[in-house]
Amino acid sequence: MKAMILAAGRGERMRPLSDRVPKPLLEVGGRPLIAWHLLRLAAAGVRQVVINHAWLGGQIEAALGSGEAFGLSIAYSPESSALETAGGIRQALPLLASEGAPEHFLLINGDVWTDYPLAELLSLRPQGAHLVLVDNPDHHPEGDFGLESGRLTALPPRLTYAGLGVFAIAPFLALAPGRRPLRPVLEQALARGELSGEHYRGHWVDVGTPQRWTELNAWLGERDRLSLQ
């Protein structure tokens, strides 16, 4: 299964940190945020990764190169301006759905940090999508989806979509190119009963602000300190 990392956002809430460095290249725990994803994807058995980018995207390509240093093959999908999640996936379809590729792909937001065991997702083949959900953070108290017996619902209590899941390629083939958010695609799949999910209770952070970035660095530093004792 191929994976796609979403890395095209401007990172407005991360300014001034993201003014000169794209958010996925900001370091947490001594390495770029996106590098954590790449190392974990490789350890899980993924070999081909697609990364979209827009703001300062050249820095991302220069830093990661072909992916050989991570044991991966990286293909890039540059966007002149960010196309949002569904639009970025739609543009990257020639890379994701190349001849001989599976009909599903693993998707992960480039601006989250998580210790979720990615290998557990690689055997999934959902009809629409399988989403990893987490407890609602303070900045998103209402959540996104309910979860009942492994199926997503629109009913409360709701959990938060973690920016991680496995998606079928087919729904994106039907989209016209251009700037498109992911939410309508998910709502259509939800109405068809095509969304499954799970509740992950491990560590997850939406690294969306300088404060959360600072807190994650502190947590990782403390974790590493304790591991050496």
Tens digit of each residue's pLDDT (9 = 90 or more) over 149-170: 999 999 999 999 999 999 999 9
Q: What does the pLDDT read at residue 227?
A: 66
Reading the block at residue 93, the tokens are 């379809």
- pTM score of the predicted model: 0.94
What's the structural domain count of the chain? Answer: 1
Percentage, residues of the chain above pLDDT 90: 86
Residue 89: CATH number of its domain: 3.90.550.10
Average pLDDT over residues 35-64: 96
Q: How far is CA 40 from CA 44, 52, 70, 178, in A?
A: 6, 18, 9, 31
Distance separating alpha carbons of residues 5 and 75, to the nearest angstrom? 11
Which structural domain range is residue 9 located in?
2-227
Q: Encode pLDDT of 54-102 as tens digits.
A: 989 999 999 999 999 999 999 999 999 999 999 999 999 999 987 666 6
